[in-house]
Amino acid sequence: MKTAVKKQPQIIAPDAYPQMMSKPNAARAALTLRSAQVAEKAQAAMEAQIPAMRAAILGYVEELEKAQGDMTLVFEKAHEIRGFAETAGLVTTGRIADILCRYMDDMERIKKPLDVTLVALNVSAIGRAARTEDGNAAMGDVVAAELAALVARRLADAGQG
Amino acid sequence: MTGAGFETLKALIVEDNAHMRTLLRALLNSAGIKEVAEAGNGQAALTLLRERKSDLVLSDLAMKPMDGLEFTRRVRNDEQSPNPFVPIIMITGHTEKYRVQAARDAGVTEFLAKPITAHNLFARITEIVERPRAFVRCDNYFGPDRRRHQMDDYAGPWRRKDDFQQEVDVR
């Protein structure tokens, strides 16, 4: 048996490496980022993107619905949708896509087979939410909550959660 | 006030989704960051980093052929890396704890969960400019100090459990 002395980590202080900006500029930049003027501009910039994002999400939803036999593709499309549905104002769509992704990710991690019916149910709910979300947010919330509960039960049955 | 401090800043967005790239660029522009380059995956971003100085990187996690974790490791650890200290904000819908830990262990500076809001993105950038973190170099890690909380009332030299065992057995 040999012994080795544990090396101490080298700590490099912020002043000892190149910073993103000088300290005076950093203070000004922080003020800029916290300003109401910038918040308004950012909000306007986001709102300008919403029509294009919604159109893209509907495109992903169609691809998701066509991909049902291919679970890798289902995950990829659901992941794209959860990525920016909520930013585009499709809150329920994003929530259900997130529920589906978490379910698929957890089952993959514990090496258990997916319940294809549950996946199909989520895919169907994502499609309906994306196409009708503006009109019935309350119903969408109920559907998302029910699906989350169902997924939680399936994960518990599979020994996860 | 817009643009103060950001006039000369160069940002790089690494994201495979064109809509998300457009959104991130628009948000950076609204804060006055005008010089923004884009790459569709980690491999393309590494090439861009070598060709063009970048002061701030916003990176997605899941991309092909090179994902955001490998990209971050390469930026931090490659001998050819043009700036191993560049701040990297990882922006992803993969918010599971083990993925957040993987991002932290790869050397990201900040983690931002999708869906993105301007407030959350700007809060991460503010954190980077106001409170730059020390870097740590040890046998199996190089990157920002992963200890986010300072224990002001702690007087001892060690904090890790195995710090108490300075000499480790090697068989």
Output the CA angle B152-B157-B160, nearest 5 degrees. 90
C-alpha distances (whole Å) from B9 to each of A133, A136, B13 are 39, 44, 13
- Cβ pairs bridging A and B (under 8 Å): 172
Of A20, A86, A94, the CB nearest to B56: A20
ipTM of model: 0.81
Taking phi over 0 as left and psi of -120 to 50 as alpha, with beta for the rest, B150 belongs to: beta
- Of B13, B123, B137, B124, whose CA–CA distance to B68 is shortest? B13
pLDDT of residue A68: 79
Chain B residues closer than 8 Å to A18 by CB: 83, 85
Tens-of-pLDDT digits for all 161 residues of chain A? 556 666 788 999 999 999 988 888 888 899 999 999 999 999 999 999 999 999 999 999 999 999 978 999 999 999 999 988 988 989 999 999 999 999 999 999 888 999 999 999 999 999 989 988 664 566 677 777 888 888 888 888 887 65
Look up residue B104 and give its two tokens: 């932290």
Distance from the first to the final alpha carbon of chain B: 62
The 10s digit of each residue's pLDDT in B78-103 is: 998 999 999 999 998 887 788 899 99
HSE (side-chain half, CA atoms, 13 Å) at A126: 36
The 10s digit of each residue's pLDDT in B118-153 is: 999 999 999 999 999 999 999 889 999 987 655 556
CA B153 distance to own-chain centroid: 29
Sign, Cα dihedral of B76, B81, B83, B89 = negative
Mean pLDDT of chain B: 86
Chain B residues closer than 8 Å to A53 by CB: 19, 23
Chain B residues closer than 8 Å to A25 by CB: 4-5
Interface of B with A in 124-163 (CB under 8 A): 125-126, 128-130, 132-139, 141, 145, 162
pLDDT of residue B165: 46
Residue B75 β-bridge partners: none
